[in-house]
């Protein structure tokens, strides 16, 4: 992941996309320009709980590594057991909905950093109950990993 960090180096700012929003549903509004973005300079204190900026390619590689059980292109980054522990539900059985899932999952738990799909879902993206997800990011990106079907789904929240 060569294009992921807590800031975008000056030599890569020409590749950093502007972030737009449609707050009133009528047209685009610039909310983060590349040259004035908070990501255009290193943070005073990098946070362990967020604040990364990345490319779609790097995000996909990260998701693929998780789908592969901690390995990518023959390089093991995490133990298979670690990924299994991170993506297993750690909530008590009586808590069956956290909300905020990829497409309003009504039956999901939470692992160590990931939402966990507890039962098959028919709403797109469909999953058979073997998946986990991450639905965060300033620009609303989400990731759904279906281990049984070996599928990755990356999209903007709401899609």
**83 with 70: CB under 8 angstroms?**
yes
Nearest CA to 72 out of 53, 57, 50 is that of 57
Tokens (6 digits) for 29: 């509004």
Distance in angstroms (rounded) separating the CA atoms of residues 95 and 153: 25
Q: What is the pLDDT along the chain (159 residues), one digit of tens a residue?
A: 899 999 999 999 999 989 888 888 788 999 889 989 989 999 998 887 778 888 888 988 999 999 999 999 999 999 999 999 999 989 888 776 665 544 445 677 888 888 888 777 655 555 666 788 876 666 666 788 888 888 887 765 554
The CA–CA distances, whole Å, from 148 to 14, 64, 132, 152 equal 39, 14, 11, 11
DSSP letters for 32-47: E-GGGSGGGS--SS--
Q: Which of 114, 125, 117, 129 is nearest to 157 (CA)?
A: 125
Backbone region of residue 130 per phi and psi (left: phi > 0; alpha: psi in -120 to 50; beta: other values): alpha
Give the H/E segment covering residue 59.
helix 56-67
């Amino acid at each position: 992941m060569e294009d992921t960090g807590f800031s975008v180096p000056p030599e890569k700012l020409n590749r950093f996309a502007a972030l737009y929003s449609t707050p009133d549903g009528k047209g685009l509004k610039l909310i983060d320009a590349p040259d004035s973005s908070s990501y255009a300079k290193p943070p005073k204190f990098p946070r362990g709980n967020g604040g990364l900026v990345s490319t779609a390619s790097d995000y996909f590689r990260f998701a693929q590594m998780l789908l592969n059980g901690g390995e990518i292109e023959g390089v093991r980054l995490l133990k298979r057991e670690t990924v299994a522990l991170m993506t297993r539900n750690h909530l008590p059985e009586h808590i069956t909905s956290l909300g905020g899932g990829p497409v309003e999952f009504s039956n999901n738990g939470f692992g160590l950093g990931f939402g966990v799909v507890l039962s098959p879902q028919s709403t797109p993206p469909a999953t058979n109950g073997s998946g986990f997800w991450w639905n965060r990011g300033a620009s609303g990106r989400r990731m759904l990993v279906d281990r049984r079907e070996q599928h990755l789904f990356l999209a903007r929240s709401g899609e």
